Chains A and B, each alone.
Chain A
Amino acid sequence: AAGVIQSPRHLIKEKRETATLKCYPIPRHDTVYWYQQGPGQDPQFLISFYEKMQSDKGSIPDRFSAQQFSDYHSELNMSSLELGDSALYFCASSTRALAGAQYFGPGTRLTVL
Chain B
Amino acid sequence: AQTVTQSQPEMSVQEAETVTLSCTYDTSESNYYLFWYKQPPSRQMILVIRQEAYKQQNATENRFSVNFQKAAKSFSLKISDSQLGDTAMYFCAFINGGATNKLIFGTGTLLAVQP
Contacts and interface: CB of A to CB of B under 8 A. Distances in A.
B100 interface: yes
Interface string B57-76: 00000000000000000000
A58 B104 CA distance: 11
A45 B33 contact: no
Interface residues of B, number: 23
Interface string B64-101: 00000000000000000000000000010001000111
B102 A42 contact: no
B22 to A, nearest CB: 16
A90 B99 contact: no
B103 interface: yes
A56 B50 contact: no
Contacts of A35: 103
Contacts of B46: 104
B105 A88 contact: no
A103 interface: yes
A104 to B, nearest CB: 4
5 contacts: A45-B104, A96-B99, A96-B100, A99-B99, A104-B46
Interface of B: 33, 35, 37, 42-47, 50, 52, 91, 95, 99-108
